[in-house]
Structure 1
Amino acid sequence: MRAFRFLSLIMFHTVFAFSSSLSPLVASGDEGMYLFNDLPTQQLKADHDFEPSEDWADHLRLSSVRFNSGGSGSFISSDGLVLTNHHVASDTLHKLSTPERNLIDDGFLATSTDQELKAPDLELNQLVSIEDVTKQVNDAVDSDASAEDAAEQRRAVIARIEKASKDETGLRSDVVTLFGGGKYHLYRYKKYTDVRLVWAPETAAAFFGGDADNFEYPRYNLDATIMRVYEDGKPAKLDHFLKWSRDELTEGELVFVSGNPGRTQRIFTVAALKFLRDDRMPYVLDYLRRKEILMQQFGLEGGEQERRARDELFGIQNSRKAYTGMLAGLQNPKTIATKRGREDRLLQAISEDESMQALASAWEDIERIQAENREMLGKTVSLRSTLFEIAMQIVLLTAEDAKPDEERLKGYTDSARESLLQRLLSPAPVYADLEQVKLADELSRQIESRGAEDALIVEILRGRGPRERAAELVTGTQLADVAARQALIDGGLAAVLASDDAMIELARTVESEYRRLRKRNEEIEERERQAYAKITQATTAIEGTGGYPDATFTLRLAFGTVKGYQEGGQYVEPFTNFAGAYQHGMDHAGQKDFDLPKSWMENKAAVDLDTQLNFVCTADIIGGNSGSPVVNRDGELVGLIFDGNIQSLTSDYVYSDEQGRAVSVSGVGILEALRSIYGAGDLADSIGK
């Protein structure tokens, strides 16, 4: 779960994303990431004797937030406090840190609102409403349109819907594709862009056990951070926030998770899963290993270099471990066999129903598309550098601004403009030495991928080697200065075309190839969407209309029970406590990642060692759920999702509650740490009020 922010970045820039909108998934047991406007009320009543009311669901939805950096959170007080994971907040902690103030290592506590630190570019989204716009979208796409034309028509109508909603309501408006294009929902969000840091523990406490313990259990992590949202320069006044349970959980207790799972591929065909197993995931793992070594080597140059690279290295290492686990799951023959069994049953049922036989071709279409996905794998001109990404987005923004809104690229429409500008004009520091190292490596990768004599490579390098060219680009750009970015945006396309900024020139050089690859990807995605829409139709006819769509980094409700599991012939208890954390550190004495911070050691005598610290449950989560609140039947916060165990890493494509578990920080554990370790009793007292 920790890996989501980095994973989402590399998936967009190095591996073109699959369609995230697939067929209905029929749930069993505690499986399911349910839409808030289609909750499994009958299943909850039958299995758990609980029936959520409309008020219960609305309150939980409005108390939940999405982080634009990748992750989830929740409102926990009437005056704007927000709870999320330390690792979700780490991007902000990194940007707020300096050589003199290392928030990653030392943590932070504001004892008054005037001490709270403003995040440079963080946006939180509160889901206000959901509207079904399926008919509007489908009516705008010609039934006989080519994949290219259909993609353009669909993009245009979605842009019109989003713009009309934004103009009417003032809310961020996103059309979300669900069920393979079977449904399109308009999600309206209230945005909070003034977000300030209130409290964060040391990384030694938040990521206690380091890489060795990551995705494992038992765990002893305080992976939590508290922020606050402001409006008009004052702490926001909220009607919806979560009360905080002061009671410890019991085994077997029913709990709910409200968060934003990133992407799942559970309805992928066997052919699509084989592509993941044999091509995409090995490619990504190679990429991650390369970047891990690069960041490690940069960090060895000195203490300040280590600090600058730390957040990115952390994300890379977590992504590498997550992908290793996911690939291992796909390489287990049982996974493909299970998927093939369901696929064979569906195809058999289709063959016996003359009215559906034409739908069988969808599986063949998906198989053919995998060859094209394989061909496109790794083809990109996006260079993983902050300065280059800023340049590329400015070049695209000014060009798209010259077009009618409905013809613009996704992400550059009027409805998306505010969020885009907040990112582009972020005052977060950009480190030239780190940028140069990353850019040089990306230029080397481009040479390896396209060939040294490729015409575009020759034009990019201008007769220089990757290191020399990277140095020239970084020293020749002014884009580290926010004012320079603003001037280009204000000047529009004319200013961009006239600019001699080295990074802008590079972005202009690759723009046409970027657009070509993006258009090609959209065509493939459209054909996948159409094929999966047929699979949706067949699956719904055979298995019914119940279930849930694949995850889309939008708000979902999952549920499960607090429950241990068997591993290696041993029963793994569902709970850990503070005593276990101190013992765990002693058991690994001499290993740096198991050194509890000074604050924990100095205040050990004050801590109630029996207090629950972490727990596991069977709720269905994936990356993006990091920071999700865990609530009880009364809607009170009892925990904070921060990870899954190693057995849960196959959840992207198959759910199992035999051993797979979601891992949370206990709500009572957070309160105990605030009071007994961090001297933040006033903050603890204000939570839930």
Structure 2
Amino acid sequence: MTKKFFSLLLVAALGLTNLAKADEGMWLPLLVKRLNHVDMQKQGLQLTAEEIYDINNASLKDAIVQFGGFCTAEFISKEGLLLTNHHCGYDAIAARSTPQADYLTNGFWAASRDKELANPGLFVDILVRMEDVTPKVLEGITAQTSEADRAKMVSERMKALATEAKGSENYVTYVRDFFAGNEFYLFVYERYSDVRLVGTPPSAIGKFGGDTDNWMWPRQTGDFSMFRVYADANNKPAAYAATNKPYQPKKHLPVNIGGVEKNDFSMVFGFPGRTQRFMTSEGLKIAVETSNPARIKLRGKRLEILKADMDKSDAVRLKYASEYASISNYWKYFQGQNAGVKRMKTVEGKVENEAKYNTWASADANRKASYGNVLADINKAYGEQKEYTLSQVYLSEAALAPAAAKFALNLVPLQKALKEGKAEDIKKTADAIKAASKEYFEGFNVPTDEKLFAAMYQMYYNDVPKNQHPDIFKTVESKYKGNWNKFAAEAYKKTFLTSEAKLNAFLAKPTLKALENDLIFKTASSVYTNYTTNIAPKLMASKASMDKATRLYVAGLREMQADKVFYPDANSTLRLSYGTVKDYEPRDGVHYAHYTTAQGILEKEDPKDEEFIVPQKLIDLIKAKDFGRYADKNGELPVNFITDNDITGGNSGSPVINGRGELIGLAFDGNWEAMSGDLVYDKDYKRCINVDARYVLFVIDKFAGAGHLVNEMTLVTTPSPSGDQTVKPVEAITADKMEVKVKEGKVKTKTKKEKKKKK
């Protein structure tokens, strides 16, 4: 019996031979041909692997962009028209809104190209190519290479490879590590920075359901917005200019309004943010028991303060709308994640699998030498990190929550320059601060920020271990008797950080004394110094040993389960996931259909609740069933549908694509029952919530009267293919020649009143 055969028998005995479930995983498109294509074909894919990813010819990858570095968007016309989520465009929409022209509340639709709105700072990245550079990064590195030398060599090589690949100033290049540093891939993007707002529905459609429905199913949310990418005369990236032309993408997605059925193939193509599915049980315990509860507590208080002031003023509401939505989103997410980990007994499952891992590692002398101690090393590192977990969380969630405190850190380099007394450096630093201050002063309200400052630092003071407090806390204790409201009032009264005129006056003639006497700067600087001097070094020391142990642990897992197809954790690089349109049963006696209709909008409508207000025109259209060509076979208007695609943050705005490569919807959310998805995939409950392409086009065409945008698109009426269908030719027709061939079935929903009654 060979050692390899014995190893496989041992793995089988340990119950670790399950192959990756087809619906699980966020896969690199570069590797689809080798790893996934056969499985995808079985489920209904009718495209070749090259039609998905090809660097020499147009492929699906050319239609997908990273939007602003935090979301996904896709081209849906040959004129550079982009579709993404309403919540992805939220910040840009809010920035262009005023109380007099409130695009968040009322929506916006450019009647012509010259009416489309520029968005300084917004960009999209289009993938040119990706490449496995693992051999180049790890050349000559062995098990005998010290960890310090390894880290230095890897870092230098990653930087050199990215620099070499850049070639053009328009390219954005980087190398990312995968499987905890066991593999490395190079990514080359072309960045376009002239991205203009084309259209957005009112928040009553784009954010329908608000925080109540966030992460929940059933949904009836029209979560979409539209932008357009512009380029120079040669179709290359260029700064905003009136002479720029709409970008001509190599590929755009046809939009299918033929509808989807249960069990139809679905592919989500986008830029998922971060997952941590190789995290061990000790890491999960810290997240569930310490960091998540702290984040929930702090974000809850921030939401309470912001909401009170936003309700009093439209101007304040618009300033904080995007920030409030972001805070709220993950405030609820962390609650759901904890609930999901508990329900799935994820920690217990990890403990059991780690015991099996140790048994496997100990069964062979060579394996024991390589992997025998890695879990013990990981647990030791987590133990060291746990002591400082609250300091980590409270730094980002509390200390830097007030805008003034966060901006004050921009002045730390000025403090250094003033101490060194170099006039040239002082002026250069002051000029940079002045340039950055414009956006800062536009984005916050001083009275609100003062309330946040007092509340956040009070919680920091109360909750973080005293031996980890910054020195400024001693001043508040002695001079202000620990009264953070009193301290905040004086700080905001005397600071130059709440007035553009005062800041500019200071920057014109900066002095070290004036800077260090500013209480807001003094507070932020004290927190920053304390963290970088007393806390970060301890965390970095444990991180170094954690990184090595985790790399070996993941390598061991892949060696132990040699018959399993592994996928890497998400890291904001282009991925695809594939699955099917699917309903689910979240608990005993409850069945959720795979789609919802406009009838659910009327069932939830409540003019007294801002989350469930419905525009009168939409009410009239729904009641009259005036859905035009976007209605289904039964005359109903589909709104949202669900699939079992594996997604996470960053996938927002990703296209949901059928087996022929056509857009059938837009991913915008996950479901409450599977909020543990960043840590573990839930094969029973994981669902991706999507807005149906038919509802998107209905809102654009029938509600907004912007049919000229629909006319730009390539529309398809042939229903999406299912896994058991034979290949059918794509029928692409013009917008004025439509036939409706769509799905059947009824939706089971609960009205808002029924939900409240149950609660």
| TM-score where L is the length of structure 1 | 0.83
Provide the residue aligned with 1:8 in structure 2: none
Decide which moves more: 295-304 or 454-463: 454-463
Counterparts of 1:149 and 1:469, CA distance in 2: 48
- Residue by residue, what CA displacement relative to the aligned partner does 1:14-37 show, whole Å, maximum 9, x if unpaired? xxxxxxxxxx99621311100122
Counterparts of 1:346 and 1:53, CA distance in 2: 35
Provide the residue aligned with 2:693 in structure 1: 667
Provide the residue aligned with 2:29 in structure 1: 36
Q: How does 1:81-92 map to 2 (within 5 A)?
A: 81-92=81-92
Equivalent of 1:652 in 659, 662, 678: 678
Equivalent of 1:370 in 382, 385, 403: 382
Decide which moves more: 597-606 or 460-469: 460-469
Q: Does 1:267 align with 2:278?
A: yes
Provide the residue aligned with 1:253 in structure 2: 264
Provide the residue aligned with 1:379 in structure 2: 391
Q: How does 1:518-597 map to 2 (within 5 A)?
A: 518-544=536-562, 546-567=565-586, 568-585=588-605, 590-597=608-615
Counterparts of 1:99 and 1:575, CA distance in 2: 36
- Residue by residue, what CA displacement relative to the aligned partner does 1:253-285 show, whole Å, maximum 9, x if unpaired? 101001122221212112222222222222222
Provide the residue aligned with 2:618 in structure 1: 600
Equivalent position SS for 1:38: helix
Counterparts of 2:514 and 2:163, CA distance in 1: 31
How far the C-alpha of 1:461 sits from its partner, in A, is 9.8
Equivalent of 2:473 in 431, 454, 457: 457
Equivalent position SS for 1:73: strand
Decide which moves more: 122-131 or 602-611: 602-611
How far the C-alpha of 1:470 sits from its partner, in A, is 4.6
Decide which moves more: 286-295 or 193-202: 286-295
Q: How does 1:193-212 map to 2 (within 5 A)?
A: 193-212=193-212
How far the C-alpha of 1:374 sits from its partner, in A, is 1.1
How far the C-alpha of 1:537 sits from its partner, in A, is 1.8
Cα 1:362–1:52 change in 2 (3 A) is farther
Decide which moves more: 283-292 or 424-433: 424-433
How far the C-alpha of 1:91 sits from its partner, in A, is 1.6
Q: 1:200 touches 1:225 (CA, 8 Å); kept in 2?
A: yes
Counterparts of 1:688 and 1:395, CA distance in 2: 53
Q: 2:558 touches 2:566 (CA, 8 Å); kept in 1?
A: no
Cα 1:282–1:506 change in 2 (3 A) is closer
Structure with larger Rg: 2
Cα 1:522–1:170 change in 2 (3 A) is farther
Counterparts of 2:229 and 2:360, CA distance in 1: 53
Counterparts of 2:688 and 2:488, CA distance in 1: 42
Amino acid in structure 1 at the alignment position of 2:569: D
Cα 1:110–1:521 change in 2 (3 A) is farther
How far the C-alpha of 1:86 sits from its partner, in A, is 0.7
Equivalent position SS for 1:104: helix
How far the C-alpha of 1:179 sits from its partner, in A, is 0.3
Give the total of aligned pairs: 641
Q: 1:446 touches 1:457 (CA, 8 Å); kept in 2?
A: no
Provide the residue aligned with 2:300 in structure 1: 289
Amino acid in structure 2 at the alignment position of 1:252: N
Cα 1:236–1:533 change in 2 (3 A) is same
Provide the residue aligned with 2:658 in structure 1: 632
Q: 1:347 touches 1:360 (CA, 8 Å); kept in 2?
A: yes
Counterparts of 1:94 and 1:623, CA distance in 2: 21
- Residue by residue, what CA displacement relative to the aligned partner does 1:447-491 show, whole Å, maximum 9, x if unpaired? 333659852434799956645655666663469769989x98xx9
Decide which moves more: 622-631 or 502-511: 502-511
Provide the residue aligned with 2:330 in structure 1: 319
Counterparts of 2:112 and 2:501, CA distance in 1: 30
Amino acid in structure 2 at the alignment position of 1:55: E
Amino acid in structure 1 at the alignment position of 2:372: A
How far the C-alpha of 1:643 sits from its partner, in A, is 0.9
Provide the residue aligned with 1:3 in structure 2: none
Decide which moves more: 45-54 or 31-40: 45-54
Counterparts of 1:46 and 1:301, CA distance in 2: 56
Amino acid in structure 1 at the alignment position of 2:572: F
How far the C-alpha of 1:286 sits from its partner, in A, is 1.7
Counterparts of 1:141 and 1:275, CA distance in 2: 33
Counterparts of 2:454 and 2:211, CA distance in 1: 28
Counterparts of 2:389 and 2:546, CA distance in 1: 16
Counterparts of 2:435 and 2:391, CA distance in 1: 28
Structure 2 unaligned spans of 5+: 1-16, 232-237, 418-432, 716-759
Equivalent position SS for 2:175: strand
Q: 2:76 touches 2:255 (CA, 8 Å); kept in 1?
A: yes
Provide the residue aligned with 2:639 in structure 1: 613
Provide the residue aligned with 2:455 in structure 1: 441
Q: 1:249 touches 1:638 (CA, 8 Å); kept in 2?
A: yes
Counterparts of 1:616 and 1:124, CA distance in 2: 27
Counterparts of 2:182 and 2:276, CA distance in 1: 16
Provide the residue aligned with 1:11 in structure 2: none
| TM-score where L is the length of structure 2 | 0.76
Equivalent position SS for 2:677: helix
- Residue by residue, what CA displacement relative to the aligned partner does 1:503-545 show, whole Å, maximum 9, x if unpaired? 6666555554443444544443332221111112211212126
Cα 1:479–1:563 change in 2 (3 A) is same
Q: 1:121 touches 1:423 (CA, 8 Å); kept in 2?
A: no
Provide the residue aligned with 1:392 in structure 2: 409
- Residue by residue, what CA displacement relative to the aligned partner does 1:278-315 show, whole Å, maximum 9, x if unpaired? 22222222222222222223335444334433332222
Decide which moves more: 126-135 or 455-464: 455-464
Counterparts of 1:164 and 1:102, CA distance in 2: 46
- Residue by residue, what CA displacement relative to the aligned partner does 1:602-639 show, whole Å, maximum 9, x if unpaired? 44433345132111111111222111111112211110
Provide the residue aligned with 2:744 in structure 1: none
Cα 1:566–1:508 change in 2 (3 A) is closer
Decide which moves more: 629-638 or 383-392: 383-392
How far the C-alpha of 1:590 sits from its partner, in A, is 5.0
Provide the residue aligned with 1:354 in structure 2: 365
Q: 2:607 touches 2:614 (CA, 8 Å); kept in 1?
A: no
Decide which moves more: 609-618 or 502-511: 502-511
Counterparts of 2:414 and 2:179, CA distance in 1: 31
Structure 1 unaligned spans of 5+: 1-23, 401-419
Provide the residue aligned with 2:110 in structure 1: 110
Cα 1:172–1:504 change in 2 (3 A) is farther
Q: Percent of aligned pairs with the same residue?
A: 26
Q: 1:395 touches 1:508 (CA, 8 Å); kept in 2?
A: yes
Cα 1:389–1:396 change in 2 (3 A) is farther
Cα 1:424–1:640 change in 2 (3 A) is farther
Counterparts of 1:29 and 1:669, CA distance in 2: 29
